[in-house]
Amino acid sequence: QVTDTLAKEGPSSPSYDWFQTDSLVTIVIYTKQKDINLDSVIVDHRDDSFRAETVIKDYSYLVHVALSHEIQEDFSGLFYRKCQLVSKEDVTHDTKLFCLMLPPSTHLEVPVGQHVYLRLPITGTEIVKPYTPVCDSLFSEFKEPVLPNNIYIYFLIKIYPAGFFTPELDQLQIGDYVSVSNPEGNFIISQLQELEDLFLLAAGTGFTPMVKVLNYALTNIPSLRKVKLMFFNKTEDDIIWRSQLEKLAFKDKRFEVEFVLSAPTSEWSGKQGYISPALLSEFLKRRSDTSKVLICLCGPTPFTEQGMRMLHDLNFSKDEIHSFTA
């Protein structure tokens, strides 16, 4: 017995069909769309429940098939799957690279610019916080995968000793589980199409969404002429992936990086201070009045809010600015 639910919100919802042999149930979803990418489809299979979510334009379509008996579930919230901690590596004195492995029956690719929620039980309550997946390094290949299963998800996470969630995350041992939600976020990859100048303004772990954006733009946007990252941190020790960034700038002449420190030691000869109109107007030199520009912004809320105001004052339009927030 098969029961199903097709949740639909959009104007014309996809239809679907299924057929079965002795060993296989095949579910076909007809989207009437030409360019459905792998990252627009999320598939989970657990026990007797099969779930396929397809994202088309601004809509999400859900096919949920319960095999042999009907299941009760709330379809409105985020769906979580348990992932295993595979490795944990120090990146700076307080930031680590976590690698999680998806269950073998899950296909999930987090789109560029989106985040997920991690969920852990803490003193008897399920707690969730958002985190932005990154590539395992700035030099990892960034291509549409040929095989549909990239089973690892990487996160750069700063551990706050007085924080609520991150000390618990840091306590996890290799082999332990953490739940990972579906992706969310309002960055659209088409914002990068035809782009000539890409400016990234990141503060602290606000660097995380920039990793995939940077990697994607350098690999997949032929019109791209320049990518500049201005990376704000308190001290040199806080800079995530500094040597990788410097290597990338050396290898790829389209990429430039500049570090700005708010609490440097006396030896620091580079730029200092918080985000400011003076720093921005010097940094954001567009090629020409007509060149297509995108400025991405992410960091602590005051950083992002001040940055947005300064960018508007510098006459960049809404379409030319993307701020990453929850």
The sign of the torsion formed by the CA atoms of 36, 59, 212, 293 equals positive
Nearer to ligand NAD, 244 or 262 (CB): 262
Exactly one of 299, 316, 321, 322 binds ligand NAD (CB under 6 A); that residue is 299
Q: Residue 306 binds which one of ligand FAD, ligand NAD, none, with CB within 5 to 8 A depending on kind?
A: ligand NAD
* Closest distance to ligand FAD from the beta carbon of 271 (Å): 23
Which positions ≥6 away from 163 have C-beta within 8 Å?
none
* Closest distance to ligand FAD from the beta carbon of 158 (Å): 4
Residue ranges in the chain assigned as alpha helix (H): 166-171, 208-220, 242-251, 277-283, 301-313
Binding residue count for ligand FAD, defined by CB under 6 A: 18
Exactly one of 36, 218, 306, 308 binds ligand NAD (CB under 6 A); that residue is 306
State which of positions 192-211 bind ligand FAD (CB under 6 A): 205, 208
State which of positions 204-233 bind ligand NAD (CB under 6 A): 204-206, 208-209, 232-233
Q: Residue 156 binds which one of ligand NAD, ligand FAD, none, with CB within 5 to 8 A depending on kind?
A: ligand FAD
Exactly one of 64, 106, 119, 132 binds ligand FAD (CB under 6 A); that residue is 132
- Binding marks (x or -) toward ligand FAD, 258..277, rule CB under 6 A? --------------------
Which positions ≥6 away from 290 have C-beta within 8 Å?
none
**Shortest Cβ contact with ligand NAD: which residue?**
204
Helices (H) and strands (E) in the chain, counts: 5, 20
- Candidates 197, 156, 157, 206; CA nearest to 307 is 206
134: left (phi over 0), alpha (psi -120 to 50) or beta: beta
Residue ranges in 138-237 assigned as alpha helix (H): 166-171, 208-220
- Candidates 129, 135, 120, 125; CA nearest to 171 is 120
Nearer to ligand NAD, 10 or 167 (CB): 167
79: which DSSP letter? Answer: -
157 near ligand FAD, judged by CB under 6 A: yes
Nearer to ligand FAD, 7 or 122 (CB): 122
Nearer to ligand NAD, 75 or 160 (CB): 160
**Shortest Cβ contact with ligand FAD: which residue?**
163
The residue range among 6-14, 74-82, 155-163, 192-200 that interacts with ligand FAD, by the rule CB under 6 A, is 155-163
Instruction: Specify which residues 126 forms β-bridges with.
Output: 121
Instruction: Record the tokens describing residue 172, joined without a space.
Output: 């996890």
Exactly one of 41, 153, 156, 224 binds ligand FAD (CB under 6 A); that residue is 156
Exactly one of 49, 140, 148, 160 binds ligand FAD (CB under 6 A); that residue is 160
Q: Which residues of 265-302 are buried (b: 16+ CB within 10 A; e: fewer)?
A: eeeeeebeeebeeebbeebbebeeeeebbbbbbbbeee
- Binding marks (x or -) toward ligand NAD, 3..32, rule CB under 6 A? ------------------------------
CB atoms closer than 10 angstroms to residue 188: 15
By residue count, the chain amounts to: 326
| Binding stretches for ligand NAD (CB under 6 A) | 115, 132, 158, 203-206, 208-209, 232-234, 238, 262, 274-275, 298-300, 302-303, 306, 324-326
